[in-house]
A and B are shown apart, each in its own frame.
Chain A
Amino acid sequence: MSGMPARISRADVAHVARLARLDLTDDELERFTDQLGAVLEHARDVEALDTEGVPPTAHPLPLRNVLREDVVTPSLDRDEVLAQAPEAEADRFKVPRILGDA
């Protein structure tokens, strides 16, 4: 297993903020870099544990094959759905223009 990366940098935080679509101010960037660093530092003690051969638990339940039948159930009323939208047009959700990968 790969080790933990070095302490999170301001550039890392800026990159992550962009991935998460959060426009941060410079102040926020600064503060979050410190705070995330502290939390990740604490998280390092999981690194100390020997987990060789230990399977990950994604889920506390031993359930398998939870399936439903292919039967139609009622959909929502379109007007009710679109009434919640910040903007709608022609029965569709309206969004600003999409550049590249959004």
Chain B
Amino acid sequence: MSTEAPATDAPLSPDPSGWEMVIGLEVHCELRTATKLFCGCRNEFGSPANTNVCPVCLGLPGSLPVINQMAVEYAMRIGLALHCHVEPSIFHRKNYFYPDMPKDYQVSQYDQPINLDGWLDLPGGTRIGIERAHMEEDTGKTTHVGGGGRIHDAGYSLVDYNRAGVPLVEIVSRPDLRSSADARSYVDELRSVLVATGASDGKMEEGSLRVDANVSVRAAGSAELGTRCEIKNMNSLRSLGRAIEYEAARQIALLSDGGRVVQETRHWNEAEGTTRSMRSKEEAFDYRYFPEPDLVPLAPSASWVAAVAYALPPMPAERRARVAAATGLDGDSDSVVTVVRLDLDSFVMAAVDVGADGALAVRRLANEVAAHLDGARPLDPDAFCRLLLLESQGKLTTAQAREVLRRLLSQGGSDPAAVAAALGFEAMGAGDLGDAVDGVIAANPAEWARFAAGEDKLQGFFIGKVKAATAGKADLKAVSALLRERRA
């Protein structure tokens, strides 16, 4: 265990210009199987401690692993979605002592992983190489007691093996990322790919997705790779971004000072906002890998791979392209990316199918609907479409439509017209609106004269008066059109 004085550890806001970050990410994705990778225990988050355990996942003497077929299928889905080759593969043992690992070795794929050599395009077009996506087993969960829960200060630790043996796919990117924003965008996009495959629930907060970052820096324009550090323990996209920024700054400070970066694993401390060395160097890389003799090789048949590929649903990039084609919007725009990432693109397609305004649908979904995603009631697609039609036909104003949508999201319902009526929103005829505008003009002759003379800022004054006169029922776009018409 190497220790470092915090003083040398803290970057002194070095000058980042002239430096380039090189980042590769390792994303551990828990698979949504019913059971663990090598035994029939439930793969379930939040069960009472040590209830989902058996001789196999507890590593009891004499127990043996048998591979879960669904885990293999999910791993293949992930690989295919990331444009990898599915290869014959074998499992190795990675030997090291740690109490969260019941056998004191982890069964993991090593030099013959199931998925090799693919890529993921980020929105905006940057292509990130995927080196591999291999299968392995998860570890148990350790709780540190005393010392504020920090591992090194704790009095003792407690271990729950419910998570031990849960199937993981570890997706290793090439060092193609160049900023923390890139890294966040990659994880965001990868998460939505993983969810789309059905292999993952994408819940970072439950640890279903865990990200380690390999960070190095080099002189801008250099083609050589610097010495990297592996950063662990980031549990949100925000901490991923912060940890990368901190670590790059630390390395730049070191190198600027004539120092050297030591290859090591570093632990992100969320509270302190720093990374800290965690593994002793001389042992960290001596895992004594060897082929797991209790398992036989995996060699998915071409027909199995083809069947998995065939059944794969469309991935986010393709779905964004579909939304773009249907709405005329830019597929890489934030609102389209958001709609697909939140799995709301089917609403857009449904809206377009019934002749509603697709771009309007995207706007409503990326704003109102996205803001209410954890609302108690699911949105009825049919109701959503009819609401859009009411709005584009001018039967509801923008403000009214938004309010109706909020009601549908918070209270449910399948008839937006009825919700509008209940709210007292009546469609205002064009004639009624004209009368209201004329009434306001008549009541404010001085202001009208100035507006008519070209003082445009008075438009707001008149809109406000009309809105008041109609108790908010007026479509404000129609009001401004009428005002300009009257002035002409």
| A and B, direct touch (CB closer than 8 Å) | yes
Residues in A whose Cβ lies below 8 Å from that of B154: 97-98
Contact string, B14-55, partner A, CB cutoff 8 A, digits 1/0? Answer: 000000000000000000011100011110000011111111
Chain A contact residues: over half helix, strand or loop, or mixed?
A: loop
Is A102 interfacial (CB 8 A cutoff)? yes
B41, A72: Cβ atoms under 8 Å? Answer: yes
Which of chain A's residues has its CB closest to B73's CB?
A: A70
Q: Return the contact of B152 from the options A71, A74, A90, A99 (Cβ within 8 A).
A: A99
Residues in B whose Cβ lies below 8 Å from that of A92: 49-50, 143, 158-160
B35, A72: Cβ atoms under 8 Å? Answer: yes
Is A89 interfacial (CB 8 A cutoff)? yes
One of B130-138, B187-195, B295-303 contacting the partner: B295-303
B55, A89: Cβ atoms under 8 Å? Answer: no
A73, B70: Cβ atoms under 8 Å? Answer: no
The verdict on A67 contacting B157 (CB below 8 Å), with A72-B42, A81-B58 known, is no
B278, A100: Cβ atoms under 8 Å? Answer: yes
Is B279 interfacial (CB 8 A cutoff)? yes
Cα-based distance from A5 to B300 in the complex (angstroms):
39
Is B224 interfacial (CB 8 A cutoff)? no
| Chain A residues with a Cβ closer than 8 Å to the other chain, count | 37
B67, A97: Cβ atoms under 8 Å? Answer: no
Cα-based distance from A61 to B39 in the complex (angstroms):
22
Is B293 interfacial (CB 8 A cutoff)? yes
Residues in B whose Cβ lies below 8 Å from that of A101: 1, 96, 98, 278-280, 283-284
A69, B69: Cβ atoms under 8 Å? Answer: yes
B156, A72: Cβ atoms under 8 Å? Answer: no
Is A21 interfacial (CB 8 A cutoff)? yes
Cα-based distance from A69 to B72 in the complex (angstroms):
11
Is A53 interfacial (CB 8 A cutoff)? no
Cα-based distance from A19 to B298 in the complex (angstroms):
30
| Residue of A82, A95, A99, A101 contacting most chain B CB atoms (<10 Å) | A101
Contact string, B151-168, partner A, CB cutoff 8 A, digits 1/0? Answer: 110111111110000000
Is B333 interfacial (CB 8 A cutoff)? no
The verdict on A66 contacting B98 (CB below 8 Å), with A71-B35, A96-B156 known, is no
Is B66 interfacial (CB 8 A cutoff)? yes
Which of chain B's residues has its CB closest to A100's CB?
A: B1
A75, B41: Cβ atoms under 8 Å? Answer: yes
Q: Return the contact of A95 from the options B90, B99, B278 (Cβ within 8 A).
A: B99
Is B205 interfacial (CB 8 A cutoff)? no
Which of chain A's residues has its CB closest to B292's CB?
A: A58
**Across the A-B interface, how many residue pairs have beta carbons closer than 8 Å?**
140
Is A76 interfacial (CB 8 A cutoff)? yes
Q: Return the contact of B158 from the options A61, A74, A78, A94 (Cβ within 8 A).
A: A94
Q: How large is the interface on B (under 10, 10 to 19, 20 to 34, 35 or more residues)?
A: 35 or more
Is A64 interfacial (CB 8 A cutoff)? yes
Is B461 interfacial (CB 8 A cutoff)? no
A66, B296: Cβ atoms under 8 Å? Answer: yes
Contact string, B63-96, partner A, CB cutoff 8 A, digits 1/0? Answer: 0001111111000000000000000001000001
Is B142 interfacial (CB 8 A cutoff)? yes
Is B413 interfacial (CB 8 A cutoff)? no
Is A48 interfacial (CB 8 A cutoff)? no
Which of chain B's residues has its CB closest to A68's CB?
A: B66
Q: Nearest Cβ in chain A — how far from B57, in angstroms? A: 9
Which of chain B's residues has its CB closest to A89's CB?
A: B158
Is B291 interfacial (CB 8 A cutoff)? yes
A70, B35: Cβ atoms under 8 Å? Answer: yes
Cα-based distance from A78 to B48 in the complex (angstroms):
10
Q: Return the contact of A66 from the options B67, B96, B279 (Cβ within 8 A).
A: B67
**A-binding residues in B (CB < 8 A):** 1, 33-35, 39-42, 48-55, 58, 66-72, 90, 96-99, 142-144, 151-152, 154-161, 278-280, 283-284, 286, 288, 291, 293, 295-300
**B-binding residues in A (CB < 8 A):** 18-19, 21, 58-59, 61, 63-76, 78, 81-82, 89-102
The 4 A-B pairs of least Cβ separation, nearest first, read: A73-B40, A100-B1, A70-B70, A92-B158
Apart from A78-B48, A94-B159, A96-B156, 16 more pairs, CB < 8 Å: A65-B297, A66-B66, A66-B295, A70-B35, A73-B54, A75-B52, A75-B54, A76-B55, A90-B158, A92-B158, A92-B159, A97-B152, A100-B280, A101-B96, A101-B284, A102-B99
Q: What are 16 A-B residue pairs whose CB atoms fall within 8 Å in the complex? A: A18-B283, A59-B293, A67-B72, A69-B69, A72-B41, A73-B35, A73-B39, A76-B53, A81-B58, A90-B158, A91-B160, A92-B158, A93-B161, A95-B99, A95-B158, A98-B157
